[in-house]
Chain A
Amino acid sequence: MRTLSAALAGFPTWAQSTLRFPGKRPMLVHNDFPEDLETPVEYFDSWLTPIDKFFVRQHLPRPKADPAAYRLKVHGLVHTPLSLSLDDLRKMPQFKVPATLECAGNGRGNFKPKIPGLQWTKGAIGNAEWRGVRTADLLKRAGVKPDAKFGTANGMDAGVAKTPDFIRSVPLRKLMHESTLIALEMNGQPLPELHGFPARLIVPGWDGASWVKWVNDLELSPQADKGFYFATAYKYPNFSVGPGGAAKPEEMEVLEGMAVVSFFSKPLDQAKVKIGSVPLFGVAFGGENRISRVDISTDGGATWAAARLGAENFQFAWRTFSYDWKPAKKGHYTLCARATDTSGRVQPIEAEWNPSGYLWNAIDRISVTVEA
């Protein structure tokens, strides 16, 4: 852990830098150190989100990993503790999983009253192909003892002074799922440093907080971690508290799956379009559920019609949608997108306010002007 004075001594290098992030296209900047970068919705124009457009969320200053020295430790309640190099991991069977990563706080900036935290608008989400080793294979190799209920993942990042370390526990049932990975690659490339080089936990369908970056430690235990980032943060009340309301700690539950959401990518909010034919395009995500339909309204929600869904249809990955809109009259229009998932969840008119501003998922709404 770095001390406060060491951190202050390091201040000038990043403070003087311009807003340019190597490897990233123009992004919406919530924080420059460490980088918290939102994807502008116009980049959601393809099923896979390229790395150079993928959002970035970091809690703590990120580590510089030495790939030769890297070891993934699997220990705790196991028969054979493991310490695996990158080569060891690459020698194990590799699996590819397309999965959408969304920050639990995506859309926090849309809640009223305001809630402290990153003020994401809509773009703390992206879809990628992750490739690596199944956590189930690692756990089978280590031999999990019967009392183990959780795997607690820790990365190489560390906080300054008394800042809590970023540590997350994942229940064994999810770690044994065939789609849960220790990924070494993202969209066919080694994971970039911003996205967790050399290894990242992939927990498909769950909030981004569970997808621990720079992961090098997985400890099996009967209980979940008691630290800030698992026991206090990333929790959601078990009843609706109402705007500005509060819940007792015992009424807060750990977030697991995500809400059902959709976002227009085209046209942009406040765009001017030509009368005649206007293609609408966007993405919809249902956490652990697939998207079963997306409905579009071009009259502010008075009437709805089904959008066409994209061909790529995988559990854990978002689905693209498109709609050929043929406005016949000039004027101002409110367009809405409303996704439904296979468990029957539908986006609400208003997202449920909660104390930390998680899971914002109101029906997406944009305004466009049709010109003659």
Chain B
Amino acid sequence: MKPLFCSMTLTALLAAADPAAIEKGRAEEKRVCVACHGLRIIHIQRLNRGQWDREITKMVGWGTVVKEREALLEYLVASYGDDKPAAPLARSQDGTQKP
């Protein structure tokens, strides 16, 4: 049991370090995660791997068709993991004035 756990952790670490997987994940996000809401609600999160995995499961359950699930997860953990500093919140322009 123990060796298996270690090798899984190792796989995860190696995958997390793989820029190609991250790029693939980023492309997958752009392709499939924009139908129902903007990307901003994704990028303001700071979540651990388990939380990101559950988010993907939730979105798939709501009808998102994800083809590159592993790459997407690596990308989300690498970019918006809970070890990253909080996302600065953008301030909108004044919408009461003419642009």
Contact = CB atoms under 8 A, between A and B. Distances in A.
Interface in A18-40: 18-34, 36-38, 40
Interface string B31-48: 000111110110011111
Chain B interface helix/strand/loop/mixed: loop
A344 interface: no
B7 interface: no
B89 A121 contact: yes
A351 to B, nearest CB: 17
Chain B interface: which size bin? 20 to 34
B63 interface: yes
Interface in B2-59: 34-38, 40-41, 44-48, 51, 54-55
A222 B43 CA distance: 41
Contact of B41 (A11, A24, A30, A163): A30
Contacts of A176: none
A163 B59 CA distance: 8
A251 to B, nearest CB: 19
Interface stretch (A112-120, A261-269, A297-305): A112-120
B45 A119 contact: yes
Contacts of B54: 116
Contact of A25 (B34, B35, B62, B95): B95
Nearest to B61: A162
A33 B37 contact: yes
A20 B92 CA distance: 5
A161 interface: yes
Contacts of A114: 45-48, 51, 82
A300 B36 CA distance: 44
A18 B41 CA distance: 16
Contacts, number: 111
Contacts of A118: 41, 44
Chain A interface helix/strand/loop/mixed: loop
Contact of A163 (B48, B62, B82): B62
Contacts of A33: 37-38
Contact of B34 (A11, A36, A38, A61): A11
A29 B63 contact: no
A32 B40 contact: yes
A4 interface: yes
A63 B99 CA distance: 25
B89 A20 contact: no
B95 A7 contact: no
B91 interface: yes
A69 interface: no
B91 A34 contact: no
B71 to A, nearest CB: 20
A29 B86 contact: no
A26 B91 contact: yes
Given A15-B34, A116-B55, 12 more contacts: A21-B95, A31-B38, A31-B40, A31-B41, A34-B37, A113-B48, A114-B46, A114-B47, A118-B44, A119-B89, A163-B63, A164-B62
Interface of B: 34-38, 40-41, 44-48, 51, 54-55, 61-65, 82, 86-87, 89-96, 99
17 contacts: A4-B63, A8-B34, A8-B35, A11-B34, A19-B92, A25-B95, A25-B96, A28-B91, A30-B40, A31-B40, A33-B38, A37-B92, A114-B47, A116-B51, A116-B55, A121-B89, A161-B35
Give 4 nearest A-B pairs by CB, closest first. A161-B63, A162-B63, A7-B35, A31-B41
Interface of A: 4, 7-8, 11, 14-15, 18-34, 36-38, 40, 52, 60-61, 109, 113-114, 116, 118-119, 121, 159-164
